[in-house]
Amino acid sequence: MSDVKYISGKEPHPKERRMIFKNVDREGWDQSIETYEKDGGYEVLKKAMKMAPGDITTEVKTGGLRGRGGAGFPTGVKWGFLPPNNTKPVYLICNADESEPGTFKDRYIIHQDPHQLIEGMIISCFAVGAKLAYIYIREEFPEGAQILEAAIEEARAKNYLGDNVLGSDFDLEIYVHRGAGAYICGEETGLIESLEGKRPYPRIKPPYFPAAMGLYLCPTIVNNVETLCHVGHILRIGGEEWAKIGTPNNTGTRILCVSGDVQKPGYYEVEVGSLTMGELINDVCGGLKEGRELKAVIPGGSSAKVLRAGETFKVGRGDDAKEIDIWNIKMDFDTLAACGSMAGSGGVIVIDDSRSISWVLNNINAFYAHESCGQCTPCREGSLWMKKITDRLVGGTASPTDIDTLYDVAKNIDGRTICAFGEASAWSTESFIEKFKDELVADTNPELAGEKVNNEAQLAAAGLL
Amino acid sequence: MSFEVPAEVETKVDQRITHYPVSKRSAVLPVIHELQHHFGFISEEAVEWIAVKLELEPIKVLEVVTFYPGIRQSAPGKFHIRVCRTLSCAMAGSAELMDALCETANIDRSGTDHHHPIAVSPDGKFSIEFAECLASCGTGPVCLVNDDFHEAVPNAAELLAKYD
């Protein structure tokens, strides 16, 4: 690693540990297979092809890799859900639909280091027995799709793909499939429907767990870009060594994407749990903007519940139990879950005291209202109602009771939908109300107290439009 | 004006279809992308053409066309701009960027809504719409102009000057 130099001004922060992003912003680096191979690329694949597929899965389990797309589910366990004695074809899909607000990590892997992803995918396909794989990439990465297709051609020319990969009896094709701008395609069963050429309405689980009944109702593994890249690194150094990175049950490195009100927003790859929120914001990201104070942090993409500055959180169990403030939250899966939120996709959005909470929530509500697929009524209707109520809030025409209505709408989406989008849209609203109710109520119009204000005609009659 | 898909576009379409050995229907989005790239949008004739090509009922194509925000049903400008609307870009000034782009390109967005999100300049040179999170939250405000990605867009005039 010591010979790796980075483009001036884009050097990693000293607290980073670059594995996945080793080649991002690297001096003299390009996307070609020659550059990748010169740096030791595809050597791990050669090693993996000599292993028994089951042993690869065991290494991934030993490493304790947890999915980097949002749910944090153990990857090896997911692979283990493939039915035994299966006679159907197995498919692998790389979820490159990166669209969780606040998340921008896969973009750089795809655009700057495509062969890392492809090598990770080939190894993973070999492990699970997939002979056909797709990279489902969001439509808004047109250049990324071209880069991946070019990289796939290069890999095919070297027989890393195609028939009899590296002289084995293993055949594999990978194709790039572009989405068309719908957030719901990041949900794995919605993605599968989309890949089948339909509207991406998520499927109900059970029975449609992709590992059992996925693409074309065959066993299918869906993994995030960053997750598939990690598979290569686990095999390179071995599961046991890899598990020493990070903290127990929160192993490896992960890319934190920081945006919003900090001096230096950007992507930072760190050992999971090696940083607290305070270290991330104040050391790595250069602190808040001049003269500003922290108001809130959304720690894992907009679907994660908001954390309020000044809140205290109970973490740890038994003798280790303690109360901490927002600055001392360790940025790992388990701690963020204990704080009532989630590490999610690694997208950290920092909000300072210059921001109106009503405005922030309205922006988030507008996102979910736009992106609800419309399959389940509570989500289709509720996400739009939540947007309309917060439209009134930012427009100064909300009644004080609107906040309770908003909370009620959110609570009636939560738990009543086929997929987790319902929770994602409801949890952000619920958490903002639970933690910032006073501020939201302050933005309502007291003159409207007791008024049933719910449509434009009434507002016009009240002289408010 | 009759609808005709040029041979070179059809060749690309045929090649895309081979990527889905199990089900031709899976090729709906890739074929739509090829036609949209060529024609700028997906017309009723294009829906029919795709349906014949993939041996599907036209409704199976139309239901996809009407679902996805990335598929247009009306002609965009020569340069189609998509400005990220979502939180991090909004905090970085994407609403102000949208206003400035509209003013500079002489675009009136007042007639747009959820089902008709695109506004076109009178000369047909530029069209614009908001897009949800473009996944570059650390460098907002960001936008796409056709297939070109622009981050930390400094100002509207400077961006538009790149397109003629």
Number of domains present in the structure of chain B: 2
Residue B72 within any structural domain of the chain: no
The region, left, alpha or beta by phi > 0 then psi within -120 to 50, assigned to residue B40 is left
Residue B1 within any structural domain of the chain: no
- Residue B54 sits in the same domain as residue B102: no
Residue B102 within any structural domain of the chain: yes
* Residue whose entry in the numeric block shows the structure tokens 């997208």: A347
Residue A455 confidence (pLDDT): 60
b/e string for A286-300 if b means 16 or more Cβ within 10 A?
Answer: eebeeeeebbbbbbb
The domain boundary, picked from B67, B98, B113, lies at: B67
Q: Which residues, in sequence order, are bridge partners of residue A174? A: A133
Mutation for testing the B interface, residue in A139, A153, A432 having most B CBs under 10 Å:
A139
With CB atoms and an 8 Å threshold, state whether B87 touches A194: no
Residue B28 confidence (pLDDT): 98
What are the CA-CA distances from residue A405 to residues A29, A49, A430, A440, B78 (Å)? Answer: 54, 58, 11, 12, 45
Q: Per residue in A403-448, pLDDT tens?
A: 999 999 999 999 999 999 999 999 999 999 999 999 999 999 988 8
b/e string for A351-388 if b means 16 or more Cβ within 10 A?
Answer: bbeebbbbbbbbbbbbbbbbbbbebbebbbbbbbbbbb
**Which of B19, B88, B147 is the closest to A260 by Cβ?**
B88
**Which of A140, A178, A260 is the closest to B91 by Cβ?**
A260
Residue B107 within any structural domain of the chain: yes
Give, in degrees to the nearest 5, the angle at Cα A192 between A186 and A198. 105
Work out the pLDDT band at A317, boundaries 50, 70, 90: confident
Judge residue A225's burial from the number of C-beta atoms within 10 Å of its C-beta, 0-12 exposed, 13-18 middle, 19 or more buried: buried
Please tell me which residue of chain A has the smallest CA distance to B63. Answer: A199
The domain boundary, picked from B33, B67, B101, lies at: B67
Instruction: Please compute the mean of the pLDDT values over residues B25-50 and round it to a whole number.
Output: 98
By 3-state DSSP, what share of chain B in percent is helix, strand and coil, each rounded to 5?
A: 45, 15, 40
Contact B134, B83 (CB under 8 A): no
Is residue A51 within 8 angstroms of chain B, CB to CB? Answer: no
- Residue B90 sits in the same domain as residue B59: no
Residue B27 within any structural domain of the chain: yes
Tokens of A83: 């039915």
With CB atoms and an 8 Å threshold, state whether A367 touches B137: no
Contact A182, B69 (CB under 8 A): yes
With CB atoms and an 8 Å threshold, state whether B69 touches A258: no
- Residue B106 sits in the same domain as residue B154: yes
- Residue B58 sits in the same domain as residue B127: no
Residue A446 confidence (pLDDT): 87
Please tell me which residue of chain A has the smallest CA distance to B89. Answer: A260
Residue B146 within any structural domain of the chain: yes
- Residue B83 sits in the same domain as residue B63: no
Distance CA B140, CA B106 (A): 23
**Which of B32, B86, B139 is the closest to A101 by Cβ?**
B86
Chain B neighbors of A194, CB-CB under 8 A: 29
- Residue B83 sits in the same domain as residue B140: yes
Comparing CA positions, the residue from A141, A137, A130 lying closest to residue A95 is A137
Q: Which domains does chain A have, with CATH numbers?
A: 33-244 (3.40.50.11540), 249-352 (3.10.20.600), 357-461 (1.20.1440.230)
**Which of A347, A360, A364 is the closest to B137 by Cβ?**
A347
Mutation for testing the A interface, residue in B16, B25, B29 having most A CBs under 10 Å:
B29
- Residue B136 sits in the same domain as residue B116: yes
Q: Per residue in A161-218, pLDDT tens?
A: 999 999 999 999 999 999 999 999 999 999 999 999 999 999 999 999 999 999 999 9
Work out the pLDDT band at A454, boundaries 50, 70, 90: low
* Residue whose entry in the numeric block shows the structure tokens 């194509």: B61
b/e string for A405-421 if b means 16 or more Cβ within 10 A?
Answer: ebbebbeebbeebbbeb
**Which of B20, B25, B68 is the closest to A182 by Cβ?**
B68
Residues of chain B contacting A, Cβ within 8 Å: 19-23, 25-30, 32-33, 54, 60, 63-64, 67-71, 82, 85-88, 90-91, 114, 131-140, 144, 147, 149
Q: Which residues, in sequence order, are bridge partners of residue A350? A: A260, A297
Tokens of A235: 């095999």
Which residues, 6+ apart, have CB-to-CB distance to A271 below 8 Å?
A17, A245, A246, A247, A252, A253
With CB atoms and an 8 Å threshold, state whether A104 touches B33: no
Q: Does the structure's ipTM exceed the value 0.85? A: yes
Question: Percent of chain A beyond pLDDT 70?
Answer: 96
- Residue B45 sits in the same domain as residue B97: no
Contact A140, B134 (CB under 8 A): yes
Work out the pLDDT band at A70, boundaries 50, 70, 90: confident
Residue B96 within any structural domain of the chain: yes
Comparing CA positions, the residue from A200, A224, A278 lying closest to residue A100 is A224
Residue B143 confidence (pLDDT): 98
- Residue B104 sits in the same domain as residue B59: no
Instruction: Please compute the mean of the pLDDT values over residues B58-65 and round it to a whole number.
Output: 98
With CB atoms and an 8 Å threshold, state whether A261 touches B71: no
CATH number at residue B105: 3.40.30.10
Q: Which residues, in sequence order, are bridge partners of residue B144? A: B82, B149
What are the CA-CA distances from residue A127 to residues A53, A63, A75, A293, B68 (Å)? Answer: 4, 15, 12, 49, 34
Is residue A194 within 8 angstroms of chain B, CB to CB? Answer: yes
How does strand B126-131 pair with strand B79-84?
Answer: parallel
State the average pLDDT for chain A.
Answer: 95
Chain A neighbors of B86, CB-CB under 8 A: 101, 302, 363, 367
- The amino acid present at B143, given as its one-letter code, is C
Comparing CA positions, the residue from A51, A141, A52 lying closest to residue A95 is A141
What are the CA-CA distances from residue A298 to residues A103, A310, A341, A355, A368 (Å)? Answer: 11, 14, 9, 14, 16
Residue A319 confidence (pLDDT): 87
A460 C-beta neighbours (distance < 10 Å), count = 10
- Residue B104 sits in the same domain as residue B152: yes
In degrees and rounded to multiples of 5, residue A96 shows phi and psi of: -115, 35
With CB atoms and an 8 Å threshold, state whether A363 touches B29: no
Work out the pLDDT band at A298, boundaries 50, 70, 90: very high
- Residue B118 sits in the same domain as residue B45: no
Tokens of A358: 């009503």
Residue B110 within any structural domain of the chain: yes
Half-sphere CA count of A82, side-chain side, radius 13 A: 25
Domain enclosing residue B25, as ranges: 7-67
- Residue B62 sits in the same domain as residue B85: no
Determine the distance in angstroms separating the CA of A141 from the nearest CA of chain B, rounded to an integer: 8
Strand A347-352's sheet: what is its strand order? A266-271, A253-260, A347-352, A294-298, A307-308
Q: Helices B7-17 and B44-54, interaxial angle, to 10°?
A: 50
Work out the pLDDT band at A3, boundaries 50, 70, 90: confident
Chain B neighbors of A373, CB-CB under 8 A: 67
- pTM beyond 0.80: yes
